[in-house]
A and B are shown apart, each in its own frame.
Chain A
Amino acid sequence: EDQVTQSPEALRLQEGESSSLNCSYTVSGLRGLFWYRQDPGKGPEFLFTLYSAGEEKEKERLKATLTKKESFLHITAPKPEDSATYLCAVSSAGGTSYGKLTFGQGTILTVHP
C-alpha cells in the first residue's frame, strides 16, 4: 500500500525567511509525484509533477526536488501570499486503478509580514 508522509504539519515563517517542506513516500513503482497548493475554501491547485529521482521543477519562489524516497518543496524568500496548505501526492504502478493518487496530510504554511 502506498504511503505519503508530510512534515512539518505546520510551519510559520517570517517574510523573506526561506525554508523547505518535506514529503516522504513509499510506493511500488513511482509514476509521478505531485505538489498542490490549497487555499481556505478552495480546491487544491496543481503546482508540479516530478517523475524521476534527480528531477527539479521551479515556479516563482517555489522549487520542487525529488529523490527515491522523498521530495522537497523549497520556498525562497516567501511572501504572505504564499500562505496556504501544501499537499503532496503520489501515483504508482501498483494498485488496481490508474490515476489513483495517494495524498499526504499536508503542511500548513503561514508567512508573516
Chain B
Amino acid sequence: ETGVTQTPRHLVMGMTNKKSLKCEQHLGHNAMYWYKQSAKKPLELMFVYNFKEQTENNSVPSRFSPECPNSSHLFLHLHTLQPEDSALYLCASSHNRVNQPQHFGDGTRLSIL
C-alpha cells in the first residue's frame, strides 16, 4: 500500500463508548498530524507528532488522546465524546520541515449518538 491509510472509514458510537482511530503512512515521513473537519469550517489542527514526540496540542479536550508508537503509525483514542465531536477526522504526514506539504488520508467519518 502507498500513501496515508485511515481506518475505519466510518464510525458510529455512543457518548459512553471508547474507540480508536488508526492512521498508517507509507511515504517515509517522520511527522504526523490529526485534523478535525466540520461542515462549513476550516480544517482544525489537533495534534502534531515529530519523530514520535508530540510537538503540538491545539487545546484539544482530554477526551481525545493521541498515540504515536513510531513514525509510521498514529492513533486517536476516543472516550466520552459529545455530539459536537461528530466530524471527519483526517490524518496527514510530511517530512519534518516547515515548508513541506502534508499528505492526507481519506479520513474517518465519526458520528456520535
Chain A residues within CB distance 8 Å of chain B? 4, 31-32, 34, 36, 41-46, 49, 51, 87, 89, 91, 93, 96-106
Contacts and interface: CB of A to CB of B under 8 A. Distances in A.
Contacts of A98: 50, 55, 96-98
B42 A44 contact: no
A101 B45 contact: yes
Contacts of A106: 42
Given A42-B107, A101-B45, 17 more contacts: A32-B101, A42-B106, A43-B104, A46-B101, A46-B103, A49-B100, A49-B101, A87-B43, A89-B43, A91-B98, A93-B98, A96-B56, A97-B55, A99-B48, A99-B94, A105-B42, A106-B42
14 contacts: A31-B98, A32-B98, A32-B99, A32-B100, A34-B102, A42-B106, A43-B4, A43-B92, A43-B107, A89-B43, A99-B97, A100-B45, A100-B56, A101-B45
B42 A4 contact: yes
B90 A44 contact: yes
A103 B99 contact: no
Interface of B: 4, 6, 31, 33, 40-43, 45, 48, 50, 55-56, 90, 92, 94, 96-107
A106 B88 CA distance: 15
Contacts of B96: 98-99
Contact of A103 (B4, B42, B105): B42
Q: Which 8 A-B pairs have the closest CB atoms?
A: A43-B104, A97-B56, A32-B99, A98-B98, A103-B43, A103-B42, A43-B106, A31-B99
B99 A91 contact: yes
A34 B92 CA distance: 14
A4 B90 CA distance: 20
Nearest to A9: B40
Given A43-B104, A43-B105, A49-B99, A97 B48 contact: yes
Contacts of A32: 98-101
